Amino acid sequence: MFLKKFICHALALALPLVAFAQSNLLTTQTSYENIADAVSWISPNGQQTLLIASLEADGIAVYDKFGVERQHITALTSQGADVRYNMRSSGHIIDILATALPEENSIAFYQVDGSADQPLTALGQFAIDIAPEGVCLYQDPTTGVTSAAAFSKQGDLAQYRLDYDGKKVSSHLWDEQGNPKPVRLIHVGGELSGCVADDEAGVLYIAEQNVGIWRYGADPENVKDRALIDVAKPLGHLVEVENLELALQDNGQGYLMVADESQGFVFYNRSTGQYITQFDLDGIEEAKLVTPSAAGLWIGNTEADRPVYQFFSSQQLETLTGIDLSSLRSPRDGQSQQVALVPATAETQPVSDDGDAADDSAVWYNQASPEQSLIIATNKQGGLMAYRLDGAEVQSIASGKPNNVDIRQGLFAGDGFPLDIAAASNRALNTIALYSITDSKAPIQPIAATGDNLHPNAAELLSHVDEIYGLCMSVGNDGTPFVFVNGKGGEVEQWRLQQTKAGIEGEIVRSWQLNSQPEGCVVDDSSQTLYIGEEDYGIWAFDASPAGSTEPRQVAVVDGETLVDDVEGLTIYQSAQQHYLIASSQGNNTYSVYDLNHKNIYLGSFAIVSNDAAAVDGASDTDGIYAISMPLGSDYPQGLFIAQDWYNIDPQYRLQNQNFKIVDWLAIERQLVLKTKNL
């Protein structure tokens, strides 16, 4: 309340200041009848900026930072302008501008190169399914894959994934008639008037002119539910939204800036979506705005006798409005270039339940024929599945609510009948369920546990943790098998498995407490170390032996960069040369690799991207992961890596039930080595 009052007061005083500022205002030096939208482009060294204005029937004009016109493209009606840097496609890397051509039902593209005589070079256009009123771009910050979202007066938004072949930008998807096909078509509501994507946050803001501002997931491979950020008066602060823009600051901070025809400029906190303030600028009737650089904002003044863009420095704006615009950063700097991109090799059949269902996996190694090894995986809504290494389902059994799964082989070998055992955390009964895995048509068979520590109604081991969640297995140096489970409340239990005449019994040998919710865990049998991820905090190491200390040793902390919460699945890749701990860094859709041979140093991260040739999509928002280094046939000569994929889509971008992505380890190793050499 105080802030609002302060600003209203400051504004009352500020009006003469604006008038003062008008006299030595920097403006664009040519004027056209209409200005629709504009965007800034910043050169790689940050020295040069361009203002690219979409002028409706007057085409597109490009201005330098002094407002001098550098280029004017005529003979087209341009509505909307957006830029993305370093779009990667077919080995090319370019900066692109997109604009909507309402008269032609098309979107058009230009390459932006500030050093050229003519900064914009046409890259073609393509017809789309809706009559576009504007367009915005979204770029996956990890992969560089870029898409254009056009919106209409009829309330529709059509998003197209873009390809660039060195000459033209075109749609990645085509329908059977050979027409560009959107990767996503959303009916938002009534008349739409603006959109802008926050690439880092993976968020797309859409303005419904007389209703308010919607927040959608921006990535067509990673669609989240929509939410309303603000609405029209009297419930909210808006009346008629004209335009949206973002001002970026570090660490996800900055502003969502809204130009409202009757309310002026309305600012929201970029990370929380909270309303901050609103203000008017003297002499500017119809608000349209744009972010240029670290220096300030170009603001479109359409109602003046001469419609122009006027430049307001960050300092001027701070004096006028109280908003700290001092540490704006270039949108060019937001990209993560350090992540190795590895295409998925294959994917499993989708699980049988929709929503959040697939979770964790482990590999059963087939000693006799390694290429016929099996992936054993959980559907946490009710089953356990076995898949071949090409992803085909071999078996699916209904079995409680198994969350995590792990496998150890050749257990209890002393009596001459070694068992391969899978253990799963069963959230339906708060138990550990045991299964034997064999080379047969129905490889997963439940084992009825025996002894004193069973669930009253099921032959499963009853855990005492609050809500059973993570699970991993180990084999001690003397061959004793153990199961570790953890609960949402942070408790950890270590169970010893024993074979008696009656069957397999389990007993708790140790339990202790973490500070917050854990889940992913893995044991490195070779060093008898248990690794546990605390979802919001980081990764801990513990002595895995039952008599060992429960003192935690810190391996990695959530730092928002190399490890982004939630910390989810953990796994170990160990070969003759390598000894890695890998974590699912769920918050940035990557997998972080730590070198256990070299003091757990962070080696780098990789992401699993789509493999268009194999018709497999990438993996994101991953829970469970698993790695194995054994050669598994010609497709997986150094083993493989498995990741749960939250958003499994088909090649037409239609959402499928969740599944698991399978990646040839060799592809990961190659990319990782390349990236770490470049560091």
Q: Which of 133, 163, 242, 645 binds Ca ion (CB under 5 A)?
A: 645
Residue among 421, 496, 426 nearest 459 (CA) = 426
Q: Which is nearer to Ca ion, 290 or 340 (CB)?
A: 290
Name the residue type at position 410: G
Other beta carbons within 10 angstroms of residue 450's beta carbon come to: 17
**Near Ca ion by CB under 5 A: residue from 531, 647, 653, 660:** 647
* Per-residue mark of binding to Ca ion, 135-174 (x: CB under 5 A): ----------------------------------------
Q: Is 360 in the site for Ca ion (CB under 5 A)?
A: yes
Which two structure tokens, joined as six digits, stand for 441?
Answer: 């048509």
Does 610 participate in binding Ca ion (rule CB under 5 A)?
no
- Using CB under 5 A as the criterion, what x/- string covers residues 561-580 for binding Ca ion? -----x--------------
Q: Which is nearer to Ca ion, 360 or 420 (CB)?
A: 360
Q: Judged by CB under 5 A, which of 140, 156, 359, 420 binds Ca ion?
A: 359
Residues sharing a CB contact under 8 Å with residue 56, sequence separation 6 or more, in sequence order:
33, 34, 35, 36, 77, 78, 79
Closer of 37 and 534 to Ca ion (Cβ): 37
Shortest Cβ 407–Ca ion spacing (Å)? 9
Residue 148 parent element (H or E): strand 146-152
Q: Which residues pair with 572 in a beta bridge?
A: 581
- What is the footprint of Ca ion within residues 26-45 (CB under 5 A)? 37
Q: Which is nearer to Ca ion, 111 or 648 (CB)?
A: 648
| List 140, 191, 491, 617, residue binding Ca ion (CB under 5 A) | 617
Cα separations in angstroms, 648 against 95, 347, 363, 597, 645: 29, 9, 21, 35, 6
Looking at residue 611, what DSSP letter applies?
B
Our CB check for Ca ion shows the closer of 320 and 619 to be: 619
Q: Does residue 669 interact with Ca ion by CB under 5 A?
A: no
Q: Which is nearer to Ca ion, 111 or 622 (CB)?
A: 622
The verdict on 519 binding Ca ion (CB under 5 A) reads yes
With contacts defined by CB under 5 A, name the span among 176-184, 256-264, 448-456, 620-628 that binds Ca ion: 620-628
Nearer to Ca ion, 647 or 665 (CB): 647
Strands (E) in 238-314, as ranges, are 241-248, 254-260, 264-269, 275-279, 287-290, 296-301, 308-313
Within 82-111, the residues that bind Ca ion by CB under 5 A are: 82
Give the C-alpha separation, 222 to 408, whole Å: 34
Determine if 219 is a binding residue for Ca ion (CB under 5 A): no
State whether residue 263 is helix, strand or coil.
coil
Residue 362: Cβ within 10 Å count: 26
Q: Pairing relation of β-strands 503-513 and 449-450?
A: parallel
131 or 454: whose CB is closer to Ca ion?
131
Counting contacts by CB under 5 A, is residue 623 touching Ca ion?
Answer: yes
Q: Which residues contact 659 (CB under 8 A, 6 or more apart)?
A: 347, 348, 349, 350, 351, 358, 391, 644, 645, 648
In whole angstroms, the minimum distance from the beta carbon of 208 to Ca ion comes to 16
Long-range interactions of 312-320: CB distance < 8 A, separation 24+: 312/21, 312/281, 316/21, 319/14, 319/17, 320/10, 320/11, 320/14, 320/17, 320/18, 320/279, 320/281
**CB 500, min distance to Ca ion, A:** 27
Give least dist CB 646 to Ca ion, A.
7
Nearer to Ca ion, 420 or 519 (CB): 519
In the complex, least distance from residue 435 CB atom to Ca ion, rounded to whole angstroms: 14
Q: Which is nearer to Ca ion, 11 or 563 (CB)?
A: 563
Determine contact, residues 540/555, Cβ cutoff 8 Å.
yes
Q: Quick one: which of 56, 167, 77 has its CA closest to 121?
A: 167
Q: Does 648 bind Ca ion (CB under 5 A)?
A: yes
Residues in contact with Ca ion by the rule CB under 5 A: 37, 82, 359-360, 519, 566, 617, 623, 645, 647-648
